Amino acid sequence: LRIILVGFGTVGQSLARIIHKDRERIVDDYGFDPQITTIVDSRGYCQDKNGLDLAAALEAKERLGTVAKYPEKGRRRPTASRIISTSEGEVVVESTPSNFKDGEPGLSNIKQALTTGKHVVTVNKGPLALAMPALLELANHKKLQLRFSGTVGGGTPFLSFASKCLPGEKILGVHGVLNGTTNYILTRMENSSLGFQAALREAQMKGYAETDSSNDVQGFDTAAKIVIIANLIINRRLNLHDVEITGISKVTPQSLRDAKASGAKIKLIGRISESKATVKPEEISATDPICVPDTLNALTFSTEHAGNVTLIGKGAGGEQTGSAILRDLVDIRGRYTI
């Protein structure tokens, strides 16, 4: 299986590290040998038909800032989409940063990959949030796989749960906490009476929030996950513009205290009901299973026969997301014996 890895940030590097470290186990457990033959980052790319030396690629990135400095086979200034179309490989792994305005560069990368006959594993939520129905159709039309386990829940299998563990169940709706950064901020505001800005700064200092955390705080990250769940699990053809979105920046310590006095907490809830999809701060009973603390994520599936079933786990983390990509690769390999 030859992999073209586009985007070499935390998640891309984590995948490279897992494949480098666990190659023997992967070959033993799954019977296939994943070869990363191309890596593209924002400043360049490196390529080796026989499989890159991942230790060298990681070192070039860490020490010199770009894979363009990979020994001998590194090059500067690529256009990712040209490299995707001209490189040999069975799968493109798309891990450039999520962009919820126009989905770029991920959207073009994914289209280019599918158009030129390559399966896609993406952890980039932007293209899915904005164009998931169209991308699924393109993949379907080309008889290619478009996988995205790592976009929702990291290592917690929110997406596969419904299809694999609730067969024959109709999912009537979902609701839950899908963003660890905002959940951490709200938990800290409640427990320490910090204001929103102070709690955000603390989250940034602890590495739970990025420097630009506006996609988390304004609710776009949660909304993108809601779009992915709606399309995949509830068969509802939504995109980001169909979701009513309110972020958490106006939640005050006072409103959290008021909620607490009535046995409730305020959580940023993503929700798909019969009639609509929303992301907004909601008061939730403290004994509701989705009322999880800190950076945890939680999702309740409302089912026809089994009632409400809730899944709780870590929402993210480079290693978890890297493992999710590996699961997708294993799955694609299993279906196509590439």
29 bridge partner residues? none
Give CA–CA dist 74/71, Å, rounded: 6
Which of the residues 26 through 85 are near its own copies (CB under 8 A)?
Answer: 29-30
Of 78-86, 106-114, 266-274, 310-318: span binding its own copies (CB under 8 A): 310-318
Looking at the Cβ atoms of 14 and 38, the one nearer to its own copies is: 14
Least distance from C-beta 194 to its own copies, angstroms? Answer: 18
Of the candidate residues 53, 75, 310, 318, the single one contacting its own copies (CB under 8 A): 310
Of 52-60, 71-79, 154-162, 227-235: span binding its own copies (CB under 8 A): 154-162
Among this protein's residues, is 225 annotated catalytic?
yes
Please say whether the beta carbons of 310 and 178 come within 8 A: no
Catalytic residue among 225, 265, 276, 314: 225
Number of residues that bind its own copies (CB under 8 A): 36
- Residue 142, CA distances (Å) to 31, 115, 120, 139, 331 in order: 26, 8, 12, 5, 18
Considering only CA atoms, which of 43, 33, 62, 46 is closest in space to residue 5? 46
- 318 by Cβ neighbours in 10 Å (0-12 / 13-18 / 19+) ranks as middle
Least distance from C-beta 159 to its own copies, angstroms? Answer: 10
Q: Does 330 bind its own copies (CB under 8 A)?
A: yes
- 245 by Cβ neighbours in 10 Å (0-12 / 13-18 / 19+) ranks as middle
Least distance from C-beta 243 to its own copies, angstroms? Answer: 25
Task: At 209, list the tokens.
Answer: 């929030």
Least distance from C-beta 305 to its own copies, angstroms? Answer: 5
Residue 284 exposure: Cα atoms within 13 Å on the Cβ side: 24
- Angle at the Cα of 250 (from 248 to 251), degrees rounded to 5? 70
Which of the residues 277 through 306 are near its own copies (CB under 8 A)?
Answer: 287, 289, 292-293, 296, 298, 303, 305-306
Of the candidate residues 60, 199, 320, 333, the single one contacting its own copies (CB under 8 A): 320
Which of the residues 159 through 178 are near its own copies (CB under 8 A)?
Answer: 160-161, 164-168
Amino acid, single-letter form, for residue 216? D
DSSP-derived 3-state class of residue 34: coil
Q: Does 219 bind its own copies (CB under 8 A)?
A: no
Of the candidate residues 34, 89, 105, 154, the single one contacting its own copies (CB under 8 A): 154
Of 67-75, 102-110, 236-244, 312-320: span binding its own copies (CB under 8 A): 312-320
Tokens 């990250």 identify what position?
221
Sheet holding 2-6, edge to edge: 74-76, 44-47, 35-40, 2-6, 91-94, 119-122, 146-147
DSSP 56-122: HHHHHHHHHSSGGGSTTTEEE---HHHHHHHS--SEEEE-SPP-TTT-TTHHHHHHHHHHTT-EEEE
Looking at the Cβ atoms of 243 and 290, the one nearer to its own copies is: 290
Least distance from C-beta 298 to its own copies, angstroms? Answer: 7
Least distance from C-beta 43 to its own copies, angstroms? Answer: 31
- The residues carrying an active-site annotation are 225
* Residues at the contact surface with its own copies, assessed by CB under 8 A: 29-30, 154-157, 160-161, 164-168, 287, 289, 292-293, 296, 298, 303, 305-314, 319-320, 323, 326-327, 330
